[in-house]
A and B are shown apart, each in its own frame.
Chain A
Amino acid sequence: MEIKNYSHALNKYLKILSRMDSRTRLIPLSMENNLLKAIVELDEERALEIARKELENSKSPFKMLEVLRKAADIIGEKYSKGEFFVADLVMAGEILKEISEMIRPLLQSEPRHEYVGRLIIGTVQGDIHDIGKNIVVSMAEAAGFEVIDLGVDVPPEKFVEAIKTYKPDIVGLSGLLTLSIESMKRTVDVIKNTGLRDQVKIIIGGGRVDESACKYVGADAWTTDAGRGIKIMLEWVKEKKR
């Protein structure tokens, strides 16, 4: 809930800022706020310029990582409230990805930083669509998750193998086609049968999922909304750490 309050406050702040003409601004914006504002306004050119300058100056990626996290949170929130649409998420995802790629080389030289949790995700067997999944991947990475993307048309056995190898907190099953619901159910059943169900939370997402599909599949949560999905996952990892 802390995250929610924070992002509300930030949103409000950004709204006030956006109403002010730059000449009338009394307090100069910090790099963080400037970057955050550019990302949330989907101003790609400006966001990349600020990020590039900041990296030249400070060489420290952590401040920027934090901004990306906040940005992903605000963007998700806006989508949930109906202020943002899929095309906005795709643009935001692209900006987040571009900045993450700028930061990546610097992160490798830093001591290993801590992820908020580990997610394995894939489009289930029989379905080879990945636009929705890719949106979730870029938003989850920006929100601080370590994401292992298994790709498309992933058979249940491959999910099981990945659970054994990576020991994730969360498994994300994605799919666009109607048949993906059946495939999600098969995947959850195989995870159950191999005795791994208690070790992971399972969330399903995609155009055809809803409450009744979630029950049928045997997942812990469902979403058609990447932002809401990230929020659910953040709450799960928070709960787990308690």
Chain B
Amino acid sequence: MGEGKEEVKRNMASLEPQETLKLRRERLERAFTGGTPDRVPYTFLPAMDLQAKYAGITVAEYCFNWDSWVKTAVKWGRDFNVEGVDLLPFFPPGLEGMIFAVAWADYPEWIATRFITGQFHDALRDKWTRWPGRELPPDFHPQFIGGTFMEPGEYRKLIEDPLEFITSTLLPRAVEALRKPYSPEAAAALMKLGAETKNFNATMTRIGVESFQMGFPTFYMGYGYAPLDLIGDFMRMPTGVMLDLRRHPEEVLQATEVLTPLIKKAIKNSTIPQELSEKLFGTRVVLVFWPLHLDEMLPPKLFEEFYWPSLKETIIYAIELGYTPWVFFEGDFTPFLHYILELPKGRVFAYFEKADLRKAREILGDHVNIGGGIPVSILMHGSREKVFEESCNLLNDIKEPGGFVFYGSGVSPGAATRIENLWAQVEAVKKCGYY
């Protein structure tokens, strides 16, 4: 515990950034795909309010200003560019927007809208999300609220022609600027969105270049989704779906079936070929991101019938294309862990929010590669010593037999986090993370 930030930094100074990059990339490639690296790779994903606070700006300023994205990413990157941290501790500030990636999957240049950013929200005025400096005070965390934009009686229409229903009925209801699809207002909004999409891509490229120069690797990430979550998040609210599963089971099941091919198309069109990834980022590992929302809230019987089959189909599809699914098992997935054994061995990276990682290791062994960390309340508010101890214990308990990325916690630490606790984790990784 004696080692301070300065000393950690000095250890790194002996390596050239490109040597560091190579070392970090190999470490992560192995952990993502089931090998045993020299040590457990580590990074953390600060919540948007922590990112902004650390950069000394309001959450609103952060969310709506592209330059602030770059400055914030660079600030975290520079400060934590030390031996022990392997990926840029940064995640672009955005909320769920997968419905756009599905609706516009035939036009991959729009794929940036997979996450609704502040700027996209300004252009579209969607009703799913609430933003600081807009609907919320400037220092609030952006929030996804969802809404009921489809009635139970409309499942039929969704099933008959899902794409038509989404673009002609759902989007006009949920997106203020698109309420009249062919109006000048809608055209102007889409033009504005197009310009902001370009800005998004330029900003992410700038961050990618900065990250590369610091010696942090990049892994390209495409987008998947569970079909039932698409209905819960964007059409019926999760609670609405929970009732529909009992009141209109046949319609819900058919709806997940017709949405599955659309999600597969989004997966295909949001990813890049492995060859291109190798050329651009020096790695053939291309990730596909799934956030799971209804997963552990459903009783096993409903999970098995309505959630898992179509989700599994989309995950296996990504594997068949050669990609590595990076699945965020949200909530406490512990009672459902055994389902993961149905996925092809060694091909999936499972990130757990609150599932017991020791139990996950016990049940899953090396069947999947896993990610996660210690409870977020300890990471944020615990003492430095406690964080170090918990992190070391976790690393010792589950790092074998490889295939583990330590993400600090399964939940993004928020604005009240004691920054020294993140440093305690860096030290824990160096002490207990080596194989």
Binding site for B on A (CB under 8 A): 42, 44, 82, 84-88, 90-91, 94, 126-129, 131, 134, 177-179, 181-182, 207-210, 212-213, 216
A88: chain B residues at CB < 8 Å are 299
**Nearest CB in chain A: distance from B298 CB, A:** 5
Q: Which residue of chain A has the shortest Cβ distance to B409 in the bound complex?
A: A178
**Nearest CB in chain B: distance from A215 CB, A:** 9
Question: Are B377 and A216 in contact (CB-based, < 8 A)?
Answer: yes
Question: Are B375 and A179 in contact (CB-based, < 8 A)?
Answer: no
B392: chain A residues at CB < 8 Å are none
Quick one: given A127-B143, A178-B411, are A85 and B377 in contact (CB under 8 Å)? no
30 A-B pairs with C-beta separation under 8 A? A44-B246, A44-B247, A84-B299, A85-B297, A85-B300, A86-B296, A87-B245, A87-B294, A87-B302, A90-B239, A90-B243, A91-B246, A128-B145, A131-B238, A131-B239, A178-B414, A179-B141, A179-B415, A181-B381, A182-B416, A207-B354, A208-B376, A208-B377, A208-B411, A210-B375, A210-B377, A212-B375, A212-B377, A212-B382, A216-B377
Q: Determine the distance from Cα of A85 to Cα of B303 in the docked complex, in whole angstroms.
A: 11
B377: chain A residues at CB < 8 Å are 181, 208-210, 212-213, 216
The 3 residue pairs across chains A and B that have the minimum distance between CB atoms: A86-B297, A178-B414, A87-B242
Scoring A91, A177, A179, A216 by chain B CB atoms within 10 A of each residue's CB, the highest score goes to A179
**Nearest CB in chain A: distance from B391 CB, A:** 15
A212: chain B residues at CB < 8 Å are 375, 377-378, 381-382
Scoring A44, A94, A126, A134 by chain B CB atoms within 10 A of each residue's CB, the highest score goes to A126
Q: Determine the distance from Cα of A41 to Cα of B143 in the docked complex, in whole angstroms.
A: 35
Question: Are A181 and B380 in contact (CB-based, < 8 A)?
Answer: yes
Q: Which residue of chain B has the shortest Cβ distance to A128 in the bound complex?
A: B143
**Nearest CB in chain B: distance from A136 CB, A:** 14
Q: Which residue of chain A has the shortest Cβ distance to B382 in the bound complex?
A: A212
Q: Determine the distance from Cα of A80 to Cα of B412 in the docked complex, in whole angstroms.
A: 27
Question: Are A90 and B143 in contact (CB-based, < 8 A)?
Answer: no
B296: chain A residues at CB < 8 Å are 85-86
* Beyond A82-B335, A90-B239, A181-B416, 15 extra complex contacts between A and B, CB < 8 Å: A85-B299, A85-B300, A86-B296, A87-B242, A87-B297, A87-B298, A128-B136, A129-B143, A177-B141, A177-B143, A178-B414, A181-B414, A208-B411, A212-B375, A213-B377
Q: Which residue of chain B has the shortest Cβ distance to A176 in the bound complex?
A: B143
**Nearest CB in chain B: distance from A154 CB, A:** 14
Instruction: Say if the beta carbon of B413 comes within 8 Å of chain A.
Output: yes
Q: Determine the distance from Cα of A213 to Cα of B235 in the docked complex, in whole angstroms.
A: 34
Question: Are A179 and B416 in contact (CB-based, < 8 A)?
Answer: yes
B239: chain A residues at CB < 8 Å are 90, 131, 134
Q: Determine the distance from Cα of A129 to Cα of B238 in the docked complex, in whole angstroms.
A: 12
Question: Are B376 and A178 in contact (CB-based, < 8 A)?
Answer: yes
Q: Mark B411-431, 1 if CB is under 8 A from A, else 0.
A: 111111000000000000000
A213: chain B residues at CB < 8 Å are 377, 381
**Nearest CB in chain B: distance from A209 CB, A:** 8
Q: Mark B223-259, 1 if CB is under 8 A from A, else 0.
A: 0000000000000001100110111000000000000
Q: Determine the distance from Cα of A44 to Cα of B311 in the docked complex, in whole angstroms.
A: 28
Residues of B within 8 Å of A, CB-based: how many? 38
Q: Which residue of chain A has the shortest Cβ distance to B143 in the bound complex?
A: A128
**Nearest CB in chain A: distance from B378 CB, A:** 6
A91: chain B residues at CB < 8 Å are 242-243, 246
Q: Determine the distance from Cα of A127 to Cα of B245 in the docked complex, in whole angstroms.
A: 28
**Nearest CB in chain A: distance from B329 CB, A:** 14
Question: Are A126 and B376 in contact (CB-based, < 8 A)?
Answer: no
Q: Determine the distance from Cα of A209 to Cα of B411 in the docked complex, in whole angstroms.
A: 12
Quick one: given A86-B297, A128-B143, A129-B145, are A178 and B380 in contact (CB under 8 Å)? yes
A179: chain B residues at CB < 8 Å are 47, 49, 141, 414-416
Question: Are B414 and A177 in contact (CB-based, < 8 A)?
Answer: yes
Instruction: Say if the beta carbon of B130 comes within 8 Å of chain A.
Output: yes
Question: Are B412 and A178 in contact (CB-based, < 8 A)?
Answer: yes
**Nearest CB in chain B: distance from A158 CB, A:** 15
Question: Are A178 and B245 in contact (CB-based, < 8 A)?
Answer: no
Instruction: Say if the beta carbon of B152 comes within 8 Å of chain A.
Output: no
B317: chain A residues at CB < 8 Å are none
Q: Determine the distance from Cα of A177 to Cα of B412 in the docked complex, in whole angstroms.
A: 10
Q: Determine the distance from Cα of A42 to Cα of B243 in the docked complex, in whole angstroms.
A: 10
Q: Which residue of chain B has the shortest Cβ distance to A213 in the bound complex?
A: B377
Q: Determine the distance from Cα of A129 to Cα of B129 in the docked complex, in whole angstroms.
A: 12
Q: Determine the distance from Cα of A208 to Cα of B47 in the docked complex, in whole angstroms.
A: 13
A126: chain B residues at CB < 8 Å are 140-141
Q: Determine the distance from Cα of A121 to Cα of B375 in the docked complex, in whole angstroms.
A: 26
Q: Which residue of chain B has the shortest Cβ distance to A179 in the bound complex?
A: B414
Q: Determine the distance from Cα of A27 to Cα of B140 in the docked complex, in whole angstroms.
A: 59
Q: Determine the distance from Cα of A197 to Cα of B376 in the docked complex, in whole angstroms.
A: 27
Q: Which residue of chain B has the shortest Cβ distance to A216 in the bound complex?
A: B381
A86: chain B residues at CB < 8 Å are 242, 296-298
Q: Determine the distance from Cα of A196 to Cα of B429 in the docked complex, in whole angstroms.
A: 45
**Nearest CB in chain A: distance from B346 CB, A:** 30
**Nearest CB in chain B: distance from A112 CB, A:** 32
**Nearest CB in chain A: distance from B357 CB, A:** 15
Instruction: Say if the beta carbon of B291 comes within 8 Å of chain A.
Output: no
**Nearest CB in chain B: distance from A85 CB, A:** 4
